[in-house]
Amino acid sequence: MTCPGCQQDARCKGFRPRTALSLLGALRLRRHYYRCRHCNKGTFPLDQMLGLRAGDLTPAADEVVCLAGVQASFAEAAAKTLPRMAGLRVGESTVERATEAAGLRVAEAQAVGQTFGPQQPWAWHKDAEGKTVAYVAVDATGVGMQGANGAEAEGRMAYVGMVYNPVPDRREQWADPSGARPTWQARYVAGVQPLAALAQPLRRQAGQVGLDHAERWVALSDGGSGLEDFFQNNFGRVEAVILDFWHVAEYLGDLSKALYPGQEEEAQTWRGQWCHRLKHEGGAIVLEALRGLDLKGRSRPARQTHQEVVTYFSNQVHRMDYPSYRAKGWQIGSGPVESACKTVVGQRLKGGGMRWGEDGADSLCHLRALFRSEPAQWQAFWGHN
């Protein structure tokens, strides 16, 4: 046969045994073994035909093991889920190796520009001005790390990016107002990597669902360092990078408590009034009002908090035009991507006492993002990877 490595002639050197675990039980195989005298590498054609990798699982068993490992701890998957769900009895270490290997394959496929499945443009919903609008968002969440000899190490940040098509409350803004209520659509990418590493995979996900077909692009974030530049550099048609309204409201809440220490009702009233102004008048007007706030007789901590809030507003005011955003019918909260940090990363990687190696955490993030995206994404990946 022809050597798959160097394309030279490879000679059969006899048979070699192998055992693989399938969904129907163990398979004991005798396979022809070929060795190339030019590159000195061996190959088993039957392994390639059956899709057998370095591990001891058939492709179908591999997918089922990873499906369990991506949802719960490796120990729980091995001891509880797999025996009951598929009659598979494998060790915790097997679940860990298989799941992390699958996540690595997702990362490698994305790194070379692969997407999973065919192009499937979404039917984008409309804003209040009748224009179709697509949303992108990015956020980060901490993941516990494990150092040498099992010691706790400094945590790392996992970034989660998403492109999504939220369903407006008003039926007339749906892509098809005459039909049944549409489903909420989202694609995710994630990894324990620098933020820039998410750029190309997220753009490709966006391209696969037809982001270019949407008339408007809107981005949302919590104001974290580098996020605004990320959107502007990678999604050039974004009309606005909106600062999450509720993060701004938290700053006003901190100021209300500093101005009215121990007076919860007064602090809540003050916060409610200023949040109302922020939503209906915008950040620029609220900033001017904050600068003119009479602090005579206020404590030093109150003055310090006031200065911090004014500084925050000054740096972010260009992203606080909430009256305009709301008039267009755009979302002003980054709740979807904050929720994604919990569902994509937190639910699996931030259980009690969990600590990860960096490579393992990164692999699980990739596989979790695939799992939480539309069902066809998982199926398309396993059909070819």
Which tens digit of pLDDT belongs to each residue from 144-179? 999 887 787 899 999 999 999 999 999 999 999 999
What residues does each domain of the chain span? 1-52, 133-244+333-384, 246-319
**Cβ atoms within 10 Å, residue 196:** 13
Options 3.30.420, 2.60.40, 3.30.1760, 3.40.50; CATH for 133-244+333-384 is: 3.30.420
pLDDT at 307: 97
Confidence of residue 40 (pLDDT cuts 50, 70, 90): confident
Number of residues in the chain: 385
pLDDT at 319: 97
| pLDDT exceeds cutoff 80 at 32 | yes
Confidence of residue 53 (pLDDT cuts 50, 70, 90): confident
CA distance 41 to 277: 71
Q: How far is CA 143 from the centre of its chain?
A: 13
334-357 per-position pLDDT tens digit: 999 999 999 999 999 999 889 999
Q: Is 210 left (phi over 0), alpha (psi -120 to 50) or beta?
A: left
3-state secondary structure of 27: strand
Copy the structure tokens of residue 113: 């520009």
